[in-house]
Structure 1
Amino acid sequence: MSWFLLSTAWVLCASAIETYCAASNISCSLPRESIAGNLSNPGDIVIGGTFPVHLDRVYNDLSFTNKPAELQCQRFSIERYQYMHALIFAVEEINGDPELLPNITLGFQIFDTCTTLRRAAQGTLSMLSGGTEITPNYHCGSGAPLAGVIGDSLSTRSILMAQILGLYRYPLVSYLSSNPVLSRRDLFPSFFRTIPSDDFQMRGLAHLVLHYGWTWIGLLISDNDYGQFGLQMVKQEIINGGACVAFAENIMTGQPNRNAPHLVQVIRGSTAKVVVVIASDSDFVIVIEELQRQNVTGNIWIASEAWATSVLLRDKRFQMILVGTIGFAIHGGKMPEFTKYFSSLKISNHFSDMFIKEFWEEAFSCKWPNTKLADNATTNGCTGNEKLETLYSEETYRIPLNVYTAMYAVAWALHGFLCTPRIGQLKYAKCPNVSSFQPWHILHYIKYVNFMTKDGIQVSFDANGNPPAVYDIVNWHVSGKGTLEQVTVGSYDLNAPDRKTFTVDEDKHVWANNSTEVPLSKCSPSCPSGFRKVIVPGKPLCCYECARCPQGQISNQTDAVECHPCSWDTWPNLQQDRCLPRTTEFLSYEEPLGYSLAAICILSTLIPLFILAVFIHYKKTPIVRANNYSLSCLLLLSLFFCFLCSLGFIGYPQPEMCHLRQVAFGMVFSLCISCVLAKTLTVVIAFKATKPGSRLRKWTGVKVSYCIIGICSLVQLCMSITRLLFSPPFLKLDTDTKPGIIIVYCTEGSPTAFWCMLGYLGLLATISFIVAFLARRLPDRFNEAKFITFSMLAFLSVWVSFIPAYLSARGMYTVAMEVFAILSSSWAVVGCIFVPKCFIVLLRPNLNTREPLKITSNF
């Protein structure tokens, strides 16, 4: 915007000076200033052109004690010279085409800007003035009118030129200026270009970086508009893509050494191996030379289009540094006629070309006679008979093709105005001639340009003056001749019909040291599967540490930002990179613990049956009769079921079994303890009933025992039915207790009901224990109260110990603990009550008599 205001102020000042001088009758003029580097050819209409044929200038000390010396250019560029001749070739081809601009001859006026703003401004003002001298706001020459300007190569110079030319609505068509700000129609109403805007290129460069997984990137950018706008865009795109910028350094274009020593130290000291360079080749080559001096190699350079196909950097001495470079190049094509034209240039036919001798010296590494040589320098002499055909053959042209299409765009706009029916508001009664057109006429027509070149390239501009965005992706290889060459390995086309904007042929890639493996550029090593990235405070996001995924979570990709939990029925493997089905845990018959307990249960059920068989066989013996034969048989049957019900706790818990096993356990144990209680009370009643006049004789029958058993069992039955109706046990899968294991178990339903059941059993056992303890010394040889005392003591000890063990056990061990308690308590009753009797019956039959009895047994 500042240039626009400055240019406007310039025009206003010139008008004011003219008015003042006319009124005062004072003669005034600007200082004369010669403009070197001017190459022109006459015609009916003139096309302007600016090219940086020289890449540098002599840096003079501007003390202003004397008149400043004229700007002196140096470092001739064959590549830029070729761009200039692409314009000349296009003009000659158009002049020879009877269909395009018939009867009209185009001329040209070309200026060497020498990569300086001063030369760009001089050339622009000179073309507007129409002569060899610069007269702002005046066209003093009587020559052919100016139709438009082709230029410039650098965005900074194009911005200046577009501001000046935009004041007068002269079209400016750039072949290499890609700064996005030039698309703003409010600032640059007459600017067009045949190279895409950097908006597209910088997004593509970031896409390229992210495509190869590089996350630690260095940036080198020139300190001009091209570099600074590029820095903003590519840095933002890289960060948005998840990568980080290790450093961003400016190439100081105003310094002769471009600040190269400092830049090389930064590159050497950084861990970033990939460096994006947004600068011209004439600036970057000085940095490359410094890298060569300090022997810094091994980096991968990402090239912007300004140097991706540079001839200047193809020098063999840069091979170790630049091999493997990859970048965006302007979309190219074949120009066989231009190759033929350029390779046929001769000194004798181009005397008016002031640059051709310098070109000849650079192309053939020779010197013309009388040329001053450096000290101790030796070189071949130029003769002018050297053959360019030996140096230039058919190749892919990129920037020359842009210059060529830019020239044709202006020509077709002229053709549209002079030789075709009017477009839009431009309607005339008669066909206009060369002298009648104004620059805005051509500007109007160039907006609608849409044509195809002889090489099949479609040319058009959008509303902002931009062409379709297409780039080639090039990779720098070492050719068979030992020199660097740029090989096209892919494309970036935003108008691709299948929306595959980014395509790369990986097999064609070559990297540093001629490796075919993609190099790494990371601040931190990659986190493998099973780990996640942990951001380190105070460091960029790409500088992280690796942490193992939390328990129960996995990461199945490298550099995972977060871990993901497995589903409820799966669990991570040891590497935590995939989920496996969880192991189910229950007291299985296949487990050693399960089949051991099952075997004990089965064997234990045989013991009560065996004892029952013994009692049946010896039912008439005194010891069997004295201990209430019928109650003993019922107790033995209940003990059989006690041992048997423990099998219901082993195996996969089925929903039906969950309902029945706790009820069965409660009922059979209630029956068992009720039988023991009935036996104990019967002993006490029987002893008391033998006293004279005792009223207890009527309670000595078996009906009382059965009533006790029935009442005690009925209470447990009511509790069990209530439990089943309101809070039944059910099957549950526990995934939280043990990592990676699904514990399959039956819940108690209502914990209150479960503990009430155990409490009731404990109450019956406690009553039996107390009664038996009080009756342990009754004078009866076959008094079993003392055995019942020991059995109930053991029974209560088992279940009191069971409570903390049950509450602390987990998984199948909870069930195993309950099975163990059932077996232990059942064995306590069997061992304490029936084993002594069996010992006497089977092994001491002499003690199984009635003679020692002091009390007659009536039961």
Structure 2
Amino acid sequence: MRFALDEINGNPSLLPNVTLGFQVYDSCFGLQQELDGTLKMLTGQKQGVPNFSCKRYPPMSAIIGHATSTFSILNAQVLGLYRFPQISHFSTSPFLSDKTQFPSFLRTTSHDVFQSKGLAQLVLHFGWTWVGLVAVDDDYGRQGIQIIKQELFRGGACVAFTEYIMSNNLKHISYVTKIINESTAKVIISFTKDIEKTFLLDEMLRQNVMGKIFLATEGWSISNLLTMAKYSSLLSGSIGFSFYSTSIAGFSEFLKTIHPLDTKEDPWTKTFWEKAFGCKFVDQINPLNIRDNSTLCTRNETMASIMNGYYDLSTSSSAYNIYNAVSIIAKSLHDMQTCPKDKGPFNNGSCADFMHFKPWQLLYYIQKARVTLSNGRELFFDKNGDPPAVYDIVNWQMNTDGTMRHVKVGIYDTTKTNESAFVINASAITWGSGQGQVPISDCTQRCPPGFRKLLRKDMPICCFQCIPCPLGEISNGTDSLYCIKCPWDMWPDTKKVKCLSKNREFLSYEEPLGATLVATSVFSSLLPVSITGLFICYKNTPIVRASNFSLSCLLLISMSLCFLSSLLFLGYPQPEKCLLQQVTFGTVFTLCVSCILAKTFMVVFAFMATKPGSRLKKWASPQTSYMIVALSSFLQLVLCISWISLAPPFPEDNIQTKPGTIIVECNEGSAITFWIMLGYLGLLATISFIVAFLARRLPDSFNEAKFITFSMLAFLSVWVSYIPASLSSTGKYTLAMEVFAILSSTWALVICMFVPKCFIILFRPVMNSKEHLMGKHKSYH
């Protein structure tokens, strides 16, 4: 106060011809004394008289104080009646921002709401989601904790526990300490004063509670009471808010000049001197009052010797706030003094009488004043009498002797946007046990990418379990609430953190399976062609003539086409290929089976026609076989033409059958028509089998019916087996099964129908005679 006033009075450009002075009242931390001092200031007398002033004008311009909110509230209730300006340098209660109750109260410190919000933001800044709350059991603690909870919940963090302590209830403090020890929360917000904090720390030492990081409020964040070595294991690494402060130019030098002999107007300098240096001044009136064990003050002590310790007030936030309060009052008085005539803020442009102004007039100027401080910041009051809220962020770090020091590591400025409100030098922070890494305080270990959070029943939202993303979904961030479904043509990688393009699967010519099937199909198609050539060469022999040369050649050509039809199932499914794939297969196989059906009936007709008086003789002509082939094939052809006209097959991307793979396949268009086609084909084969089976007892030398029976039995067995096999396979293997069925069933027909005849033609020419066929041959061994 003295330094600020000396600086103002020494400034010729500020309040010229005016000297500011001050009076000091000590409340001795008693509400009654506080009220009495307030009334004395208002009345200007040695006795405080309510609603009475012995002078026409108040003896003082403004009041600075009190430092404690409870006392400031009492002062403000009285001073507000007279609109007498009151500026507190340390009262932080949010209640004092209510202008309906405290219209003339202002302050140069921030109220606790800003601090509570800032502490919550500090928790979120470091990524902590699971914190404990400990507060002093009074309005200061309860109001602060309530706001912190709201901000934490809004930011997605959770509170592990909330406990309130009182310094005179050691049993409850022991209980709170047990809660802290048992909790999994590593970070504890302590909304207390340093006195209450000492009781809690002592109990934590007794119960050996370690490994916690404290977040401090201004009530103890820079307390020298807690810096002793015995608390270092608990408080080292703590981080918190303190009121913003900066060095006041010239103040440190001013403090060093203080000496009790140089101070006449200050009755407390000697008392301060005795406490600071642990000595006593000689009482000139009664020297015997000095106790035997007291050290005499030599008066050679200097403030410079203790400026680096507890008594270094050069950067004290309290001193800084008092300095600002004096500065803004002086600026307001200067603005009042320099009011332009007839351009004042009051009625009809009037100005206040500077030598006889009213308290409310000065209050008006104080509310409007703006002071630029030495550090470039601007001090002003908002509509609630609060200044811009700015806090220092301090970190408790251990000295070499085991004691602790407060290191400024950042700043919290509410005048800036949320993104830039925090300025923290993370590299300057030392956490507990000298760790350089930010500690983790989570209820549950964080869910890595590829997982999502699943809340636990009856637990806070921060307590969850991590479950892998479902099939086809990813999460590319930590602690994801939801998994993201990949697009239809993409699939997660193995870690489920990103979507990759799905593999497109089809039965390719290039892969070993496809190449093998192609080679087999082409080679197999040459066999019926070779047999046809053999039959042409031996078409006049009895065995070829008995087999119906024309029908056999047609059957062999259809078999060759059956082998080649399997090629349509290989390669990338083009629209044209899909259109012809099943239709071609059904048509050529129907032609093949129709030929066999015709041969079957011709065998029966030929045998029956040899009986005298048989009416079947006219049906044993070649025209009958051609009619059977034409009619059977025509019905299938009509069905296939109707199929491709009404519901033609088409290529499609199948993403349902095989997760993670796009199966490029041909959709039949109409599944019903497809199965009708197969059913018709099966019907023809079944009829052939039944007729041939019934004719199996023909003479042994004429064994065509037996060959047809075996061939149809093998043919039907292959396709009956194909149905369950195809249903149990997926993707390209379904096509491979169908190609295999085509090849194997056609091979069965070739082997059963023509291999015995080719063997006789090539290796048993003696058996290729009319006598042998008519059963008039001798046995050959």
TM over 0.5: yes
Give the aligned partner of residue 506 of structure 1. 426
Residues 589 and 651 of structure 1 are in contact (CA less than 8 Å); yes or no, is this contact kept in structure 2? yes
Give the aligned partner of residue 257 of structure 2. 344
Residues 543 and 773 of structure 2 are in contact (CA less than 8 Å); yes or no, is this contact kept in structure 1? no
| Residue 501 of structure 1: how far off its partner (Å) | 2.1
Give the aligned partner of residue 95 of structure 1. 9
Give the aligned partner of residue 218 of structure 1. 132
Alignment of 1:132-147 (within 5 A): 132-140=46-54, 145-147=59-61
- 1:569-602 alpha-carbon deviations (Å, 9 max, x no partner): 3333343333333334333445554444444333
Match of 1:542 among 458, 462, 473: 462
Alignment pair present for 1:811 and 2:751: no
Give the aligned partner of residue 414 of structure 1. 333
Q: Which runs of 5+ in 2 are unaligned?
A: 777-781
Give the aligned partner of residue 799 of structure 1. 719
Residues 563 and 743 of structure 2 are in contact (CA less than 8 Å); yes or no, is this contact kept in structure 1? yes
Q: Given the superposition, is the C-alpha separation of residues 352 and 451 from structure 1 closer, same or farther in structure 2, using an over 3 Å criterion? A: closer
- Residue range with higher mean Cα deviation, 814-823 or 116-125: 116-125
Q: Given the superposition, is the C-alpha separation of residues 428 and 649 from structure 1 closer, same or farther in structure 2, using an over 3 Å criterion? A: closer
Match of 2:112 among 179, 198, 201: 198
Q: 2: distance between equivalents of 1:710 and 1:430?
A: 122
- 1:652-700 alpha-carbon deviations (Å, 9 max, x no partner): 3333222111011001101101111122222233334445666655554
Residues 43 and 58 of structure 2 are in contact (CA less than 8 Å); yes or no, is this contact kept in structure 1? no
Amino acid of the structure 1 residue aligned with 2:324:
T
Q: Secondary structure of 2:663's match? A: strand
Q: 2: distance between equivalents of 1:577 and 1:428?
A: 71
Give the aligned partner of residue 345 of structure 2. 424
Give the aligned partner of residue 298 of structure 2. 383
Give the aligned partner of residue 591 of structure 2. 671
Alignment pair present for 1:404 and 2:323: yes
Q: Given the superposition, is the C-alpha separation of residues 724 and 612 from structure 1 closer, same or farther in structure 2, using an over 3 Å criterion? A: same
Q: 2: distance between equivalents of 1:551 and 1:353?
A: 81
Give the aligned partner of residue 558 of structure 1. 478
Alignment pair present for 1:233 and 2:147: yes
Q: 1: distance between equivalents of 2:666 and 2:248?
A: 85
Match of 1:642 among 555, 562, 566: 562
Amino acid of the structure 2 residue aligned with 1:160:
L
- 1:448-504 alpha-carbon deviations (Å, 9 max, x no partner): 101223453322112222222333322222356765333332222233389622222
Match of 1:776 among 687, 691, 696: 696
Residues 802 and 818 of structure 1 are in contact (CA less than 8 Å); yes or no, is this contact kept in structure 2? yes
Residues 626 and 782 of structure 1 are in contact (CA less than 8 Å); yes or no, is this contact kept in structure 2? no
Q: Given the superposition, is the C-alpha separation of residues 398 and 481 from structure 1 closer, same or farther in structure 2, using an over 3 Å criterion? A: farther
Q: Secondary structure of 2:132's match? A: strand
Residues 590 and 632 of structure 2 are in contact (CA less than 8 Å); yes or no, is this contact kept in structure 1? yes
Q: 1: distance between equivalents of 2:163 and 2:263?
A: 44
Q: Given the superposition, is the C-alpha separation of residues 138 and 487 from structure 1 closer, same or farther in structure 2, using an over 3 Å criterion? A: same
Alignment of 1:820-859 (within 5 A): 820-854=740-774
| Residue 776 of structure 1: how far off its partner (Å) | 3.1
Residues 162 and 188 of structure 1 are in contact (CA less than 8 Å); yes or no, is this contact kept in structure 2? yes
Q: Given the superposition, is the C-alpha separation of residues 855 and 113 from structure 1 closer, same or farther in structure 2, using an over 3 Å criterion? A: farther
- Residue range with higher mean Cα deviation, 671-680 or 753-762: 671-680
Amino acid of the structure 2 residue aligned with 1:388:
M
Q: 2: distance between equivalents of 1:603 and 1:115?
A: 111
| Residue 365 of structure 1: how far off its partner (Å) | 4.7
- 1:364-394 alpha-carbon deviations (Å, 9 max, x no partner): 355667999xxx9988654332111133269
Q: 1: distance between equivalents of 2:294 and 2:176?
A: 34
Q: Given the superposition, is the C-alpha separation of residues 467 and 855 from structure 1 closer, same or farther in structure 2, using an over 3 Å criterion? A: same
Match of 1:609 among 529, 543, 547: 529
- Residue range with higher mean Cα deviation, 581-590 or 101-110: 581-590
TM (norm. structure 2) is 0.90
Q: 2: distance between equivalents of 1:668 and 1:704?
A: 20
Q: 1: distance between equivalents of 2:578 and 2:484?
A: 35
Give the aligned partner of residue 779 of structure 2. none
| Residue 191 of structure 1: how far off its partner (Å) | 1.6
Q: Secondary structure of 1:539's match? A: coil
Give the aligned partner of residue 179 of structure 1. 93
- 1:353-374 alpha-carbon deviations (Å, 9 max, x no partner): 44434433443355667999xx
Q: 1: distance between equivalents of 2:463 and 2:336?
A: 60
Q: Given the superposition, is the C-alpha separation of residues 538 and 274 from structure 1 closer, same or farther in structure 2, using an over 3 Å criterion? A: same
| Residue 314 of structure 1: how far off its partner (Å) | 3.5
Residues 335 and 397 of structure 1 are in contact (CA less than 8 Å); yes or no, is this contact kept in structure 2? no
Residues 35 and 75 of structure 2 are in contact (CA less than 8 Å); yes or no, is this contact kept in structure 1? yes
Q: 1: distance between equivalents of 2:322 and 2:45?
A: 24
Residues 670 and 761 of structure 1 are in contact (CA less than 8 Å); yes or no, is this contact kept in structure 2? yes
Alignment pair present for 1:305 and 2:225: no
Alignment of 1:304-383 (within 5 A): 304-350=217-263, 352-366=265-279, 381-383=296-298
Q: Which runs of 5+ in 1 are unaligned?
A: 1-86
- 1:120-157 alpha-carbon deviations (Å, 9 max, x no partner): 44443342343343322223579961222212333333
Q: 2: distance between equivalents of 1:247 and 1:350?
A: 53
- 1:707-748 alpha-carbon deviations (Å, 9 max, x no partner): 322222222121111111221222222223333333332222
Amino acid of the structure 2 residue aligned with 1:402:
N
Q: Secondary structure of 1:486's match? A: strand
Match of 2:20 among 106, 109, 122: 106
| Residue 206 of structure 1: how far off its partner (Å) | 1.1
- 1:808-831 alpha-carbon deviations (Å, 9 max, x no partner): 333333222222221222122112
Give the aligned partner of residue 162 of structure 1. 76
| Residue 539 of structure 1: how far off its partner (Å) | 2.4
Q: Given the superposition, is the C-alpha separation of residues 277 and 780 from structure 1 closer, same or farther in structure 2, using an over 3 Å criterion? A: closer
Residues 258 and 283 of structure 1 are in contact (CA less than 8 Å); yes or no, is this contact kept in structure 2? no
| Residue 430 of structure 1: how far off its partner (Å) | 7.8
Alignment pair present for 1:148 and 2:83: no
Q: 2: distance between equivalents of 1:265 and 1:378?
A: 44
Q: 2: distance between equivalents of 1:537 and 1:266?
A: 22
Q: 2: distance between equivalents of 1:271 and 1:280?
A: 25
| Residue 289 of structure 1: how far off its partner (Å) | 4.5
Q: Secondary structure of 2:22's match? A: strand
Alignment pair present for 1:717 and 2:649: no
Amino acid of the structure 2 residue aligned with 1:456:
G
Q: 2: distance between equivalents of 1:431 and 1:224?
A: 43
Amino acid of the structure 1 residue aligned with 2:746:
S
Residues 729 and 747 of structure 1 are in contact (CA less than 8 Å); yes or no, is this contact kept in structure 2? yes
Percent identical: 49
Amino acid of the structure 2 residue aligned with 1:410:
I
Q: 1: distance between equivalents of 2:615 and 2:684?
A: 26
Give the aligned partner of residue 486 of structure 1. 406
Q: Given the superposition, is the C-alpha separation of residues 830 and 744 from structure 1 closer, same or farther in structure 2, using an over 3 Å criterion? A: same
| Residue 209 of structure 1: how far off its partner (Å) | 0.4
- Residue range with higher mean Cα deviation, 521-530 or 723-732: 521-530
Q: Given the superposition, is the C-alpha separation of residues 129 and 221 from structure 1 closer, same or farther in structure 2, using an over 3 Å criterion? A: farther
Amino acid of the structure 2 residue aligned with 1:415:
H
Q: Given the superposition, is the C-alpha separation of residues 482 and 338 from structure 1 closer, same or farther in structure 2, using an over 3 Å criterion? A: farther
Alignment of 1:688-703 (within 5 A): 688-691=608-611, 699-703=619-623
Residues 491 and 504 of structure 1 are in contact (CA less than 8 Å); yes or no, is this contact kept in structure 2? yes
Residues 530 and 575 of structure 1 are in contact (CA less than 8 Å); yes or no, is this contact kept in structure 2? yes
Q: Given the superposition, is the C-alpha separation of residues 134 and 511 from structure 1 closer, same or farther in structure 2, using an over 3 Å criterion? A: same
Aligned length: 765
* Cα RMSD after superposing both structures: 3.1
Q: 1: distance between equivalents of 2:171 and 2:348?
A: 54
Residues 108 and 387 of structure 2 are in contact (CA less than 8 Å); yes or no, is this contact kept in structure 1? yes
Q: 1: distance between equivalents of 2:143 and 2:517?
A: 80
